[in-house]
Amino acid sequence: MVSRDDMAAYLCIASNGVAPSASKRIVLQVNFRPKIIVPHQRVGAAMGSDVTLECRLEASPSPLTSWIRSDGFMLFNNSKYEIVERQHGYKVDMKIKIRNVVESDFGSYKCLAKNTLAEKEGFIRLYKHNQRRKASEKNYTALMDESQEFLSDKKNRSPDSDSDEQDEAMPSSPSHGTSNSGEPYAVSASFSIVFVSTFFLWL
């Protein structure tokens, strides 16, 4: 059975030992319905950023393609949208770039492919990134880096420098408490830093 993978140019050569030989080039074209693959069905973007949506399709003969918004509005190349298509044989990469994302841009988008045999659709949902959480994650990372630097500096400090500092200033004492068994325990500075950092992350 012939499949789309058999699409190619074939060369038939005939020879009986008497020059010249004869040859004929034949191109095999296999027609089939469009098939759409959506690599990312959910795409996140922040307000004011640019975002690209992508559909990959296979079809023969070559299909007519389009991008349609959830309200039924067909999208074209302009200052807001940039549509790019790259064709490799019967395969086509469809991409649309949405510039300067605003609130009304969030929602569903449809990539459409239609040839003489059938019509196929692919759907992508554009959602808003949680910018507050993203900022909290950055602050958390910065705090963790600072705590690691502090602990590393404390560990690498020489005994002589520690004794000199103790002569100049009162040493900081760890916080103390009492366990359920009545035995005292100490809470280290590193634990406090990690606790504060973790608390900030959940704000």
Number of CB atoms found within 10 A of residue 143's CB = 17
- What pLDDT, in 10s, does the model give residues 53-97? 999 999 999 999 999 999 999 999 999 999 999 999 899 999 999
Please state, for a pLDDT cut of 90, what percent of the chain lies above it: 53
- What pLDDT, in 10s, does the model give residues 170-200? 444 444 444 444 444 444 444 444 444 444 4
User: 5 pLDDT exceeds 90?
Assistant: no
Beta strands in 6-118 (DSSP E): 8-14, 22-28, 32-37, 42-45, 51-60, 64-69, 74-75, 81-88, 91-98, 107-114
Distance CA 197, CA 136 (A): 10
Q: What's the mean pLDDT when you consider all of the chain?
A: 79
Residue type, 127: Y
User: 136 pLDDT exceeds 70?
Assistant: no
From 17-31, 124-138, 164-178, the region with the lowest mean pLDDT: 164-178
Contacts of 144 (CB under 8 A, 6+ apart): 194, 197
The 8-class DSSP code of residue 152 comes to H
User: What pLDDT score does 24 carry?
Assistant: 92
Tell me the CB-side half-sphere exposure of residue 22, using CA atoms within 13 A: 2
Q: Can you tell me the mean pLDDT for 103-129?
A: 96
> pLDDT category, 168, cuts 50, 70, 90?
very low
Residues in the chain: 203
Number of CB atoms found within 10 A of residue 90's CB = 21
Residue type, 38: V
| CB contact burial 36-72 (16+ within 10 A = b; e otherwise) | bebeeeebebeeeeebebbbbbbbbeebebebebeee
Distances (CA, A) of 169 to 87, 165, 202: 73, 6, 36
User: What pLDDT score does 186 carry?
Assistant: 43
Distance CA 80, CA 69 (A): 13
> pLDDT category, 6, cuts 50, 70, 90?
confident
User: What pLDDT score does 129 carry?
Assistant: 86
Contact 34, 120 (CB under 8 A): yes
Contact 115, 128 (CB under 8 A): no
Nearest to 49 by CA among 106, 95, 103, 101: 101
